[in-house]
Amino acid sequence: MRRTIFNNLSSSTKSPTPSLTSPGLKEDNSPSSSQDKTKKSSSGNPLEYLPITLTKQQQTSIKDIRPKFDKISKSFTKDEKGYIAEAIHCLEMQCFKAAVLMIWATGISRILTFVTRDINDFNTKSKEMKTNNTSFYKYHSQSFQITASSIEDIRHSSKDIQLLCYVTFINIINESQFKKLKANYDTRNDCGHPTTINLKVNETVAIFENVLDLLINNPLLK
C-alpha cells in the first residue's frame, strides 16, 4: 500500500528547508497577534480554527520541545530538519494532529536512512519475521515486503509497522519501546484519516518525546 502522506512529505523537501529557529516558526506572543486570534475566533465563520485554551503548565511543556530539538539539530538530515521544523511549528500553533503527522515522518525518515545502509539485511530479517509463526512479530508480518531492491521500494511498499518491527528484531529498540511507538503509530493513523480523535497537549508532547528519545537520539540509529 502506498503511504501517500509520507511520500508527499518526502517530495516537499525539494524546496528550501527552514531552520528550526526560523523567525517564521517562532511563537508570536505580541498583543496584536492575540487580538487577531480573538477577532478570528469570534468571526462566526464555522470553518474558522479556534485556538485551544492552555494552562501555564501545558504552555511550558510545549515550549520545552523546541530547545530539545535545537540542541541536536546538527545531527539531522535535510529531510528530518524540514519535518521537525514543520512539526514544531504545528505544535506551537496548537495544530496537534498535523504536528503528530510531521514528527512521525521524522522518526520514520531516521529508520529509512538506517535501512538504506543494508537493504539485503532488511529483506532477510523481514523474511525471518514473516516465516516464524510463533514470534512476537507474527501479528504484523503477513504483509511484510521481503524483496525490496531499493529504498524507494521500501518507502512505497513497506508499512511503517514493518520498519518498527525490523528495528525491534535487530535489537535497536526493545519490545516495551516497540509498544510505545506502536501506540504512537496508531495515533498517527487516526490523525491522518477522518476520525473523531481529539488530541490533548500532553498526548501530543509525549509522542514528540518518544520519537526523540527512542528514534532520533537512539545511538544505534546514527
pLDDT in tens, 158-177: 999 999 999 999 999 999 99
What residues in the chain have per-residue pLDDT under 70? 1-47, 49-52, 60
- Checking phi first, is residue 76 left (phi over 0); if not, alpha (psi -120 to 50) or beta? beta
CA quadruple 8, 145, 182, 91: dihedral, nearest 10: -10
How far is residue 143's CA from residue 188's CA, in Å, rounded to a whole number? 20
For residue 37, what pLDDT is reported? Answer: 42
Strand stretches in the chain, DSSP E: none
- The DSSP 8-state label assigned to residue 16 in this structure reads P
Position 102, amino acid: M
CA dihedral defined by 116, 13, 186, 146, rounded to 10 degrees? Answer: -30
The pLDDT, as a whole number, for residue 6 is 40
Task: Report how far apart, in Å, the C-alpha atoms of 98 and of each of 2, 42, 158, 214 are.
Answer: 20, 23, 22, 21
Q: What pLDDT does 59 receive?
A: 72
Taking the C-alpha atoms of residue 21 and residue 26, their distance in angstroms, rounded to an integer, is 7
pLDDT given at position 46 = 66
The cell numbers describing 51, all together, are: 485556538
Residue 205 grid coordinates = 508532547
**Cα 196 to Cα 147, 160, 187, 190, 191, distances in angstroms:** 37, 22, 11, 8, 9
CA angle 167, 164, 6 (to 5 degrees): 125
Judged by DSSP in three states, 39 sits in helix
Residue 202 is placed in which grid cell?
A: 500532553
- What's the pLDDT score for residue 184? 98
- Name the residue type at position 163: L
